[in-house]
Structure 1
Amino acid sequence: MHSLIKLVSIARKLNKSANTVALLEKRILGAGLSSRHSAIIRSANAAPMAARMAQLATQHWKNMNPLWGVEIPFEQPGALWIAPEAGQKNDNQWRQLEHSLQQEGIEFHSLTHTEAAELGQHAIKINQDEIYFHEPEALQLDPADILNALQNAATLNGIEVMEHTQVTGFDVDSNGRISAVHSNHGSITCDYVINAAGAWSPKLFAPLNIPIPISLEPVYVANFLVGTRDIPTSLPIIADFVHHAYFRRWRGSILHLHQPRARSSEAIAQAFSRGLMNPAGANIIYDPSNYVLNFDQLEAYLGKVKNRFIKARTPLYAGGYVSFFDITPDLRFILGKDSKIENLVHVLGAGQALKYAPIFGEIISDIILKGQVQHSQIDISEFSIGRFSDQAFDQFWSAHKRAENSL
């Protein structure tokens, strides 16, 4: 889905000339991680440039018609962030995050315990050993609404969506540029290739000797039926970094939750190690067994609900599934031109692609049509794939050992 979001923005500009934009989809549009995305749109990020881009993307989500000719419904419940108390390990990081975001003009401010209780409509357990922050601009979208709107936008903007199309190889000309993409439906000549393939990227580009460090981290998602008197429908999104869970009210009587990404270098390295042992590669996303949680996972999530909500007794399980974060070693994007092939552009979101997709589309459009990013506030140099290819991976892991990665 986020591939289509990016390409719609590009197509609107390319269609002014005699160019064609095609999206090659291995299965069915939106069948991968996009169909299981939380669709929470927030700006809070420990990397200042990523936070700046997220803020711009949020404004685009609120007014999509000028970009793509469609509207996408959204709610703005805001987000209540919960973190360990002052004096504990993470406190300084959260205070620094608050200051950094405010420097970027992003509304993110601390709350007293009384203010947090009121924002949570007295349905949330407020503890003296916790600190609280409010991000009022956080949005909630519905993945089904996004997909429907973007399918319409693809038609409106002349994008050729080629489903059930598997890339099998590339032709590279004497100038080192990709001249054609081979697929099970034949070859397609091209001026530019945009890689938005996420966790399929390493295998896809290995024949071109382009190492792309993307792996998959499982994320467990559960839905529970709850009463409105127990957990009000108008609650903000709750980003609970004490119990490691995002909570949100979803489609009437559903309480939806999933865990955040792991952020320690050790946990990220473990995810990459597991990826090397996975013979299915990114195709594990399509495994039918991923549409159910086991007993231990369900019990753990029930415990998170009971530990955070005052009146939650034993919510009724209403379905769950395993999704994945596609992650890089430092949890930051891979964004911009490839360091080896001039007409290859990467748009890999490190588990956050959907929320950034509108601004990603503008960035990639600028790179292709103007040769560089045109927005004066955006510098994508820190997200270049060159930060990995310019050094051996063992050196990268050593340099980032014990470092906490971005939000």
Structure 2
Amino acid sequence: MSSSSAFRTVPSTADVVIVGGGVMGTSTAFHLAEAGVRNIVVVERGELGCGSSGKPIGGVRAHFSDPLNIELGSRSLRAYQDFPYRPGADIRLDTVGYLFLLTTAQQAADFEISVGIQNGLGVPSRMVGPSEARRLCPYVSTDGLVAAVYSPTDGHARPGLVVQGYAHAAARAGVTFATHTAVTGIDTTGDRVTTVHTDHGPIACSTVICTAGAWSARIGELTGVGLPVRPVRRQLAFTAPLTPPAPRIPFTIDFASSAYFHNSDDGLLFGLADPDQPDGFDTTWTPEWLELFRDVARHRAPALADMETVGGWAGLYEVTPDHNALIGRSAEVTNFLYATGFSGHGFLQAPAVGEIVRDLYLDRKPFVDITPLSADRFTTGAEIRPEAHVV
């Protein structure tokens, strides 16, 4: 792949400039190049996948509460299953299923409605009782457990391998990847972007696509487009190798607390969304949050509470006011497209979103109506129901 180390200046012109070389940017580049679009430059300020996509393991699921997110998840799941053939890479997909643990009657009632919607769209999720939840995940305590939901076709994969798989295929099709290249300004004339300025030189271009994740609000500001995305740090931790080895378990989530755990190499991975985490771009890993996880584990999965951890990882969620993505073409700047603000769901929706952005660029009708995900919804008052904020 080309990188900024290969040239002192970026290409001076491009048909398409994609800002952000994470899973969303590389998926978009792959799908555009596969459709025959040429002269694509992906501008990434660090290494590919160094932002939110750097997460060691990413969940993949079609288990959502609304049809649009279910369809984005389902289509992406199928693409991840096909990834060894198209674009052609092993992403270590492990279809272990998702298991949501529910501790109130209201949660159970809400999830029962969601399961009905999912089943109607071909997702084989089902409600299960506490004893079956424990059978599926032996770490789970049934004490206080009202019900659970199991979705057997979900699982997890490696985001870094997905980014590289898309990027290598896109590079083979002629896409230029300008890594270690920062966007410093964007020129517009009338209702169109004309030039993207970088610290390696300007790129005159016909279209700009923002896939800059947690940094998207600034790219929007440079263009005059409101993209209400804020960065929130999320952290996870790895246990020491377990002896005997951990059983193969679903991606297991205590819904009330957002605490989750699943297999990772020769141990387990722990995570939790700290509700008191302030906004910001700091990605320092600070293990204090683990006490929140251990407090939950003591009653929900007691064996986990005292497991030794050996380091972890911190990254950024790109959060919107209603925890749903921003996907569309700007009404004010007509050659500016965006796919951002996935609020923790970007990796699992990236293949489908790459298709959608390709279709928006080519003026084709996407496989699903993404009008509700327009960034304009926050100025017109048409927010959609917030999606449950879990991994």
TM-score category by the smaller chain? Answer: 0.7 to 0.9
- Measured on the aligned residues, the alpha-carbon RMSD in Å equals 2.4
Residues in 2 aligned to 1:261 and 1:292: alpha-carbon distance in whole angstroms: 12
The C-alpha deviation readout for 1:222-256, integer Å capped at 9, x for no partner, is 21225354x7331111021144211101011x211
Pair 1:259 & 2:281 matched: no
Q: Please, which runs of 5 or more residues in structure 2 have no aligned partner?
A: 1-21
Tell me the residue number matched to 2:63.
44
Q: Aligned to 2:162, which of 146, 153, 157?
A: 146
What is residue 132 of structure 2 aligned with on the other side?
115
In structure 2, the CA distance between the partners of 1:241 and 1:181, relative to structure 1 (3 Å rule), is same
Cα deviations across residues 93-141 of structure 1 (Å, max 9, x unaligned)? 2221111211211111011223222212x33212354211110011211
Query: Are the structure 2 counterparts of residues 260 and 38 from structure 1 closer, same or farther at C-alpha, using a change threshold of 3 Å?
Result: farther
Q: Of the candidates 263, 270, 275, which is equivalent to residue 249 of structure 1?
A: 263
SS of equivalent residue, structure 1 residue 161? strand
Aligned-pair CA distance for 1:404 = 5.7
Cα–Cα, structure 1 residues 118 and 82, in superposed 2: closer, same or farther, change >3 Å? same
Mark the CA change 1:110 to 1:261 in structure 2 (over 3 Å): closer, same or farther: farther
Q: Please, which runs of 5 or more residues in structure 1 have no aligned partner?
A: none
Matched with 1:8 is: 30
State the 1:167 CA deviation. Answer: 1.0
Instruction: Select 1:173's aligned residue among 164, 182, 189.
Output: 189
What SS class does the counterpart of residue 35 from structure 2 fall into?
A: helix
**Normalized against structure 2, the TM-score is what?**
0.86
> Is the partner of 2:261 in helix, strand or coil?
strand
The 8 Å contact of residues 193 and 223 in structure 2, kept in 1 or not, is answered as no
Q: Name the structure 1 match of 2:352.
A: 359
1:222 aligned partner: 237
State which of 173, 177, 196 in structure 2 corresponds to 1:157: 173
- Residues 313 and 383 of structure 1, relative CA distance in 2, 3 Å threshold: closer
Per-residue CA deviation, residues 288-307 of structure 1 (Å, 9 max, x unaligned), is xx13323xx23222333333
Q: Report the alpha carbon displacement of residue 20 of structure 1 after superposing the two structures with TM.
A: 1.2
Question: 1: distance between equivalents of 2:305 and 2:178?
Answer: 48
| Alignment partner, residue 206 of structure 2 | 191
Percent of pairs with identical residues: 20
For residues 60 and 273 of structure 2, the distance between their equivalents in structure 1, rounded to whole angstroms, comes to 14
- Note if contact 2:75-2:352 (Cα within 8 Å) is conserved in structure 1: yes
CA distance in 1, matches of 2:31, 2:71: 19
Q: Which amino acid aligns with 2:270?
A: L
Tell me: CA distance 1:70–1:220, structure 2 relative to 1, closer, same or farther (3 Å): closer
The TM-score normalised by the length of structure 1 is: 0.83
Q: Distance in 2 between matches of 1:80 and 1:129?
A: 13
Structure 2 CA distance for partners of 1:406 and 1:128, relative to 1, 3 Å: closer
Going from structure 1 to structure 2, the CA distance change for 1:237 and 1:207 (only over 3 Å counts) comes to closer
